[in-house]
């Protein structure tokens, strides 16, 4: 029976565990859930600002625009369209949003929900060279 060219030592196992632990810590820190402190949701109806809602206060908001009604649910720093009278309900299936610049659009009702973060929060959206 042939021996392998390399034998795995204790140091190799320790190094592998440290690399794995470091990658888990980086993944968890970069994929944090929830919104930034002080983030707000802006509600636009037919291109005009209809409301601004602080995401730190849980509530249900009903908005009527152009003969249509939607119900927004704000909970734990995130927002979703909980109910809408549009035909296909695509906006409801968008689910929860909580990060700055995320949006939900209801085209038949001409409604846009957008998350805005705190100015100067230091979060980089994109880098271009």
Across all residues in the chain, what is the average pLDDT?
84
> Would 34 be classed as within a structural domain?
no
How many structural domains compose the chain?
1
Q: Give burial (CB, 10 Å; 0-12/13-18/19+) of 69.
A: middle
pLDDT at 75 over 60: yes
Residue 86: the pLDDT is 87
Domain that holds residue 44: 40-116
> Would 126 be classed as within a structural domain?
no
Q: Sorting pLDDT into bands at 50, 70 and 90, what band is 53?
A: very high
Strand order in the sheet with 48-54: 48-54, 40-45, 111-116, 103-106
CATH code of the domain in which 95 resides: 2.60.320.10
Of 104 and 127, the structure prediction assigns the larger pLDDT to 104
- Helix, strand, coil % in the chain, rounded to nearest 5: 20, 35, 45
Residue 1: the pLDDT is 47
Q: How many helices (H) and strands (E) does the chain have?
A: 1, 7
> Would 93 be classed as within a structural domain?
yes
- This prediction has a pTM of 0.64
> Would 81 be classed as within a structural domain?
yes
> Would 14 be classed as within a structural domain?
no
């Amino acid at each position: 029976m042939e021996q392998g060219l390399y034998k795995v030592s204790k140091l190799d196992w320790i190094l592998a565990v440290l690399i794995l632990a470091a990658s888990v810590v980086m993944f968890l820190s970069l994929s944090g859930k929830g919104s930034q402190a002080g983030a707000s949701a802006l509600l636009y109806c037919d291109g005009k600002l209809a409301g601004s809602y602080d995401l730190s206060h849980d509530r249900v908001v009903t908005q009527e625009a152009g003969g249509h009604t939607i119900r927004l649910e704000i909970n734990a720093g995130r927002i979703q369209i909980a109910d809408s009278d549009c035909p296909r309900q695509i906006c409801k299936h968008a689910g929860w949003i909580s990060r700055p610049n995320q949006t939900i659009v209801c085209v038949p009702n001409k409604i846009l929900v957008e998350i805005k973060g705190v100015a100067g929060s230091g979060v980089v959206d994109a880098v271009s060279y």
